[in-house]
Copies of this chain bind each other. A is one copy, B any other.
């Protein structure tokens, strides 16, 4: 297949500027910079607005039409030859974790902007418009949960669901959003929602697999499923000096029994299953009073729904069989089934990587992303670039200028292919 010059994806990719993209990322990293090359830029903050104004200025230089919706999602539209067609949407988020890095989220926004700038520079036209989006509050660091912008936009939940959620200063999401929208009252508004032709999000991997395998590009096949539980063990507190061990109802000791049994249940020779116990709360949590209560969380993830369901459903029985002295209360707090991305988008990414001569690996995303809320509305996919040492949500988060540019070349090619 040959392309005419004004729709040749390789010309689009070739016009991607590694230096311009890196420079923009480093300019943005100054807004909320924290020690160790990190970033703390909460959503809907004045830092967030400064960052958005930078991005808007770059978008306007690129001739993109800027608009925002009622959730403060920011859209940068590069028109297609048929403006009546649904846009191909690409983006991510601009907010950071409280002790976050310079690339999580913001890379996907700047990569989208770089891609449309490259299309301009290469004189590429597409039939479908291409829109770059910056979703509001993906991280959930200031207002929990995350992904509010994409959830409201996709109709997953109404925007008012989180009106009363307050940040640590007591400011509600509704108040912060109203303040923010007032600050951006000069920007054109668009209705909340839409049905894009396709959605493609570039993101850092936030895991070690690409680096370990020596691959340039992650062709993301979907998002693994998650089930989150808590296990509360109720025993009886007692004096650490006087209570014989044999007569205790020690919640810490039953927790150890439960964790041993759960470790056996969750053992996966393929190391695909993610079983994490990362929060433990003991009561009264004093060194010389036997624990009367211990609560721990379970974060269970797997890309295969059948395995996720089987392992998750076995947790309660495993805990009950393992413990000796306590009552156990097992609660499930969150479930997300595995999501498969659309073959049209997945193959567009794979083809683009191959055409660029980059090494690629298909893998599911271990983390959540805004992309999952777009899946019900349009063919969706993601591109990953390697994360140094797999580190993310940390100032040490790093991907090199070359790795980031490679991801953007794949994005630019894929967008041309999808918007053709």
Contact = CB atoms under 8 A, between A and B. Distances in A.
Interface in A263-300: 263, 268, 271, 273-282, 285-291, 294, 297-299
Contact of A274 (B237, B241, B253, B279): B241
Given A271-B246, A288-B299, A393-B289, A368 B278 contact: no
Contacts of A290: 276, 278
A291 B271 contact: no
Interface in A297-313: 297-299, 301
A205 B280 contact: no
Interface stretch (A15-23, A187-195, A206-214, A352-360): A206-214
Contacts of A289: 278, 393
A54 interface: no
A282 B285 contact: no
A163 interface: no
B279 A285 contact: yes
Interface in A228-258: 228, 237-247, 250, 252-253, 256
A367 interface: yes
Contact of A259 (B237, B242, B256, B365): B256
State how many copies of this chain the complex holds: 2
A285 B276 contact: no
A392 interface: yes
A268 B394 CA distance: 45
From A275, A277, A291, name the one whose CB has the most chain B CB atoms within 10 angstroms: A277
A399 interface: no
- What size tier do the contact residues of chain A reach? 35 or more
A208 B274 contact: no
A245 B260 contact: no
A130 to B, nearest CB: 28
Given A252-B278, A286-B279, A241 B368 contact: yes
A112 interface: no
A366 interface: yes
Nearest to A259: B256
A40 interface: no
Given A256-B260, A392-B242, A278 B285 contact: yes
Nearest to A267: B245
A366 B241 contact: yes
Contact of A366 (B239, B253, B259): B239
Nearest to A285: B279
Contact of A239 (B241, B273, B392): B392
Contacts of A228: 287-288
A226 interface: yes
A224 interface: yes
The 3 closest A-B pairs by CB, nearest first: A207-B242, A242-B366, A241-B366
Interface of A: 205-209, 212, 224, 226, 228, 237-247, 250, 252-253, 256, 259-260, 263, 268, 271, 273-282, 285-291, 294, 297-299, 301, 365-368, 390-394
Given A241-B274, A276-B287, 12 more contacts: A209-B244, A228-B287, A240-B278, A240-B301, A241-B365, A242-B366, A245-B273, A256-B263, A279-B287, A280-B285, A287-B297, A288-B299
16 contacts: A206-B242, A207-B239, A208-B247, A209-B244, A228-B287, A240-B299, A241-B366, A242-B367, A242-B390, A242-B392, A245-B275, A256-B260, A256-B263, A260-B260, A280-B285, A281-B285
